[in-house]
Chain A
Amino acid sequence: MNKEVIRIFFLPLFILLILFPVLALVFNLTMKGILATMVDPFFWDSVKNTLIAALLAAALAIVVAIGFGYYHLFHRDSMVYKVANLFNDLPIALPHTVAGLALLLAFGRNTFGFLGETGAAFTLFAVILAMFFVSYSLAARTLVSGVDQMEPEIIDVARTLGDNPSQVYFRVVLPLMGEALFSGFVLGFSRSLSEFAAVIMFGGNMPGSTQVLASYVFTKVEVGDLDMAVTAAVFCVALSFLIVSVLSFRRHRYAAS
């Protein structure tokens, strides 16, 4: 009975709500759209901007997540950890337009003067920061879940062998967290690739400068060039599948080892 219910609901809903929209993109690909997009320098600029910004945002997310992992492991009672932990969950629930606006105000000239002086708003750096803001919590959660799965005795033994907490963390914990670090990086990268709202609010949508793939698709839809929008969108889908495949391949290889 239960199996029947699952089959009856799952398959039609999956096909209708997940598969059909992706197929709809592919069915709407046109040769004209492909050719026009492939010769559009702004498309390639947006691809380049997306990849560079997402890679740097994910790398930054991992660096900050490593710091959070240390507090998670050794200073869980500290106020720093408690506040950081609370804020970790925030970007998940927060509308990303709000995240973008928050960044814009923080790095504007009127709130924290010294941040405004950086002139970060509406630059590629702003795009990176916006992507980081929405992807960091994924990287931190992934790393922390890896840390929680580790045998606590490993840390105890390293301490009795003379390591202080930071030495244990860098010499033992992080080298054993290779898979969690990689997964955190890839998830952060994927989340960064898909970000639109925070990026457009804080980084803007300037072709050739701060435009990313998501905002390129939006612009093409807005100006009525659906063929080019569809081509860029299919490119995004292919890129996403590639990332998911890399992650899945790594997981299978790790599980087998």
Chain B
Amino acid sequence: MLQAKEITKKFRQQVVLQQACLEVNSEIKALIGINGSGKSTFLKIVAGIVSADHGKVFLNNCDVTSLPPEQRNVGYVPQHPALFQHLTVKENILYGMRNGKGSIDTYERIVDLLDLQAVLDKHPRELSGGYRTRTSLARALVPQPQILLMDEPLTGIDVVLKERILPDFRKVLKELQVPVLYVTHDPKEAELLADNYALMDNGQVRQVDTSAEAFELIRTSILQEYA
């Protein structure tokens, strides 16, 4: 379970996050927002990659605010798959085990669920976009993280493939019962993957019922800004 409380972050004089609060229980939550709204920064603060100016991050009720990423046990799937090019797919997926995270049983189950058997001995440059994203997801899941953070991982993948991949991802994530925070600016992606939704607007997080509602609120906010 993730609890982020009153997260504030400024880059120079620009306020990116202003007392943003969010909770993720055992669910897939989509955090929706336009580009530059601060959702990726929020995700990186939860992962420990960026430090907050103010606020606290709790994972399973433990305060991890001051811990570096390697001590937080979060899974991170960035916008670009960021696969380690010098390693094979198998070595990429097993990477966390070098640091004692995960087990061979989990690895085999995830490889099976994500249908990666055929490409295990290949290098990332030999893979299609879809397989790269699957590998990136598998690598983040093997260490059995307390929460999986996904930062628009399907950027650059065509719509037809997205519609095929996302239900698969949802099935895998539900089967593994891992809480997920999925950042996106695409309402279709959010609908296909998430159980519920939150909106990142003006550096703050608001709970919404549907992705359509989130986008309506964003649209209104943009119109007000430029009116």
Nearest B-chain residue to A172, judged by Cβ: B84
User: B5: which A residues are within 8 A, CB to CB?
Assistant: none
Candidates A151, A167, A175; contact of B86 at CB < 8 Å: A175
User: A224: which B residues are within 8 A, CB to CB?
Assistant: none
A153 within 8 A of B: yes
Q: Is the pair B139, A161 in contact by a Cβ cutoff of 8 Å?
A: yes
Indicate the size class of the contact surface on chain A.
10 to 19
Question: Digit string of A160-185 for contact with B (CB within 8 Å is 1, else 0)?
Answer: 11111001000110011010000000
Known interface pairs A161-B101, A162-B101, A171-B98; A156-B84 also in contact (CB < 8 Å)? no
Q: Is the pair B95, A156 in contact by a Cβ cutoff of 8 Å?
A: no
B179 within 8 A of A: no
A157 within 8 A of B: yes
Known interface pairs A151-B80, A176-B84; A157-B68 also in contact (CB < 8 Å)? no
Candidates B82, B99, B100; contact of A151 at CB < 8 Å: B82
Question: Digit string of B71-90 for contact with A (CB within 8 Å is 1, else 0)?
Answer: 01011101110101110000
Main SS class of interface, A: helix
A154 within 8 A of B: yes
B187 within 8 A of A: no
Known interface pairs A162-B143, A163-B70; A156-B86 also in contact (CB < 8 Å)? no
Determine how close the nearest CB of chain A comes to the CB of B113; give it in whole angstroms. Answer: 19
Bound complex: CA A160 to CA B82 (Å):
12
A159 within 8 A of B: yes
Determine how close the nearest CB of chain A comes to the CB of B11; give it in whole angstroms. Answer: 15
User: A163: which B residues are within 8 A, CB to CB?
Assistant: 70, 98-99
Q: Which of A90-110 contact B (CB under 8 A)?
A: none
Bound complex: CA A7 to CA B126 (Å):
43
B44 within 8 A of A: yes
Q: Which of B36-53 contact A (CB under 8 A)?
A: 44, 47-49
Candidates B49, B98, B136; contact of A162 at CB < 8 Å: B98
A158 within 8 A of B: yes
B contact residues vs A (CB 8 Å cutoff): 44, 47-49, 68-70, 72, 74-76, 78-80, 82, 84-86, 95-96, 98-101, 136, 139-140, 143, 145
- Report, nearest first, the 7 A-B pairs whose CB atoms are least far apart: A162-B99, A153-B82, A153-B78, A159-B69, A160-B76, A161-B96, A175-B86
**15 pairs of residues in contact across A and B, judged by CB atoms under 8 Å:** A151-B80, A153-B79, A157-B140, A159-B48, A159-B68, A159-B69, A160-B74, A161-B96, A161-B99, A161-B143, A162-B100, A164-B70, A171-B98, A176-B85, A176-B86
A contact residues vs B (CB 8 Å cutoff): 151, 153-154, 156-164, 167, 171-172, 175-176, 178
